[in-house]
């Protein structure tokens, strides 16, 4: 039986959100999405749109919430982003659990990767090829150009974007030729199809330039298209009916691009295996025989035992997770984080603290293990800030735990509100922050008021772009 549902609960809500929150816009009211080069400024309509969708999707039951995987991808992106012209190189990341092989970006520098795609991606070069392609969409401002190209179709494009994301989460439309798409902008209007396919090819070529300039073997992108081509065999699809070029045509284009030997051509990063194993451990929950699935999909014994351990933890069997982890020959941040969580969940706090302290001895300011330490000991978290949501969530959770232990409910509510707001639970967040404001001590009111002001600024920006749910529902 399937131990994790395939994200059907709440899909109807998603569909309503994405189809009702965008009123019909006249051509004259379409914002100039290229007016502001700062991808992450509230004055940039493109960022507001992306932030809205990002918060909604991070509240989805499909969210994969395992911080070491995000840490790994942040490091992988750091190899590519310096090669781009992006004004702000912070790219938010979200992993979603699905039976569909998919990856996409949305405005405001947000990247989404679906767990199933890691069935095809079996080495780091292929993953870097995928990242380079997706980052190229952001760097080339394809969303803005697409919208400008078909201004009168903006409303249709936005609605289809929401519907496409919802369908992807449900595992629909599994044709591999649509696996790499720009934010779901799969507008079926015939006059925009060629334009979209050209964007995909442009992203392929620009992505290969990034890889070459970063000293990374670009053959990984070619291997990626080979994998898509293999998956697409037996499911013919006329290219002119697709927003994406057929995989074989992308292969042809890829092979015509000169490659070069690089210093990283034969380099493997061991953590990649654990990153891949993490996403497949979540994906295993959508399979009828999860442990057999992991045996089939993962070759390395250590990575396989880690994945089985993570899956066991996810189904609330921490003791069994520890059994799998005891078989590991080598440990790293992935395995230690899971081991600490499993010890904590099984009531072995001292053992969990031992594992955490081992990591903190190596890196005292490691956010992942610092916040885990704060949660376990109910101590005050170290003062640290982050631009990445996955790290911010860890900080907020640690602060919730700390202030609850001190019976400081207003401050605990403040951080709970921030966590809920990041997941698109706007009404709950605003209710909690009002409670916090009413009950807060004078010396803490300014902190809570700043949170309330932040919510207000975001909501007003969304209202200006016709993204206010209350107004449109």
- Between the CA of residue 15 and those of 21, 113, 216, 448, what are the distances in Å? 10, 20, 40, 33
pLDDT, mean of residues 37-63: 75
Tokens of 227: 């994998």
Structure letter (DSSP) for residue 388: S
Residue 436 CB coordination number (10 Å): 25
- What is the Cα–Cα distance from 27 to 29, expressed in whole angstroms? 6
| DSSP-assigned letters across all residues of 12-58 | HHHHHHHHHSSPPPPGGG---TTS---TT-TT-HHHHHHHHHHHHHH
What does pLDDT average to over the chain? Answer: 78
Considering 47-61, 86-100, 288-302, the range whose residues carry the highest mean pLDDT is: 288-302
* 352-396 residue pLDDT tens: 999 999 999 999 999 999 999 999 999 999 999 898 999 999 999
* 326-350 residue pLDDT tens: 999 999 999 999 999 999 999 999 9
For strands 103-106 and 110-114, give the pairing.
antiparallel
Tokens of 68: 């070491």
Query: Residue 178: which pLDDT band, with cuts at 50, 70 and 90?
Result: very low
Query: Residue 248: which pLDDT band, with cuts at 50, 70 and 90?
Result: low
List, in sequence order, every residue forming a beta bridge with 195; answer none if it has no partner.
none
- Between the CA of residue 109 and those of 46, 81, 84, 86, what are the distances in Å? 10, 11, 12, 9
Residue among 22, 30, 21 at smallest CA distance from 149: 30
- Confirm if 180 and 105 have CB atoms less than 8 A apart: no
Question: Three-class SS of residue 471?
Answer: helix
The pLDDT value given to residue 6: 40
Query: Residue 267: which pLDDT band, with cuts at 50, 70 and 90?
Result: very low
- Confirm if 264 and 273 have CB atoms less than 8 A apart: no
Tokens of 379: 């101590």
Q: For residue 102, what are the contacts with CB-CB under 8 A and spacing of at least 6?
A: 112, 113, 114, 116, 117, 168, 179, 180, 181
**Burial class for 218, CB neighbours closer than 10 Å (0-12, 13-18, 19+):** buried
């Amino acid at each position: 039986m399937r131990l994790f549902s395939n994200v059907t609960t709440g899909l109807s809500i998603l569909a309503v959100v994405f189809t009702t929150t965008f009123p019909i816009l006249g051509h004259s009211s379409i914002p100039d999405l290229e007016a502001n080069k700062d991808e992450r400024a509230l004055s940039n309509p493109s960022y507001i749109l992306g932030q809205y969708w990002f918060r909604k999707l991070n509240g989805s039951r499909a969210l994969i919430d395992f911080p070491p995987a995000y840490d790994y991808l942040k490091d992988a992106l750091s190899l590519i982003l310096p090669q781009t012209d992006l004004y702000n190189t912070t790219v938010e990341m979200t992993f979603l659990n699905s039976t569909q092989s998919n990856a996409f970006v949305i405005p405001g520098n947000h990247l989404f990767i679906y767990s199933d795609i890691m069935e095809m991606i079996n080495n780091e070069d292929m993953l870097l090829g995928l990242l380079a392609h997706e980052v190229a969409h952001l760097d080339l401002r394809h969303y803005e150009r697409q919208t400008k190209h078909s201004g009168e179709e903006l409303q249709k494009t936005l609605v289809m974007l929401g519907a496409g994301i919802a369908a992807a989460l449900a595992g629909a439309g599994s044709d591999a030729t649509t696996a790499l798409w720009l934010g779901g902008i799969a507008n079926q209007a015939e006059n925009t199809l060629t334009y979209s396919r050209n964007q995909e090819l442009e992203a392929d070529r620009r992505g290969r330039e990034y890889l070459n300039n970063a000293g990374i073997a670009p053959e990984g992108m070619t291997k990626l298209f080979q994998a898509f081509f293999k998956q697409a065999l037996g499911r013919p699809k006329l290219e002119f009916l697709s927003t994406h070029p057929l995989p074989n045509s992308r292969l042809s284009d890829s092979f015509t691009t000169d490659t070069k030997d690089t210093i990283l051509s034969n380099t493997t990063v061991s953590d990649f295996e654990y990153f891949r194993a993490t996403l497949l451990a979540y994906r295993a929950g959508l399979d009828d025989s999860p442990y057999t699935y992991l045996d089939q999909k993962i070759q390395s014994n250590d990575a396989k035992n880690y994945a089985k351990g993570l899956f066991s933890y996810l189904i609330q069997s921490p003791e069994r997770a520890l059994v799998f982890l005891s078989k590991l020959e080598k440990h790293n941040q992935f395995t230690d984080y899971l081991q600490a969580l499993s010890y904590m969940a099984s009531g072995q706090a001292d053992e969990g603290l031992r594992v955490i302290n081992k990591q903190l001895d190596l890196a005292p300011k490691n956010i992942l293990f610092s916040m885990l330490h704060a949660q376990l000991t109910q101590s005050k978290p170290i003062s640290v800030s982050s631009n990445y949501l996955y790290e911010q969530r860890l900080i907020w959770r640690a602060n919730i735990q700390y202030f609850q232990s001190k019976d400081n409910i207003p401050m605990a509510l403040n951080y709970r509100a921030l966590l809920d707001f990041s997941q698109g639970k706007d009404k709950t967040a605003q209710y909690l922050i009002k409670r916090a404001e009413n009950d807060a001590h004078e010396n803490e009111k300014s902190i809570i008021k700043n949170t309330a002001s932040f919510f207000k600024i975001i909501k007003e920006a969304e209202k200006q772009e016709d993204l206010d749910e209350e107004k449109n529902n």
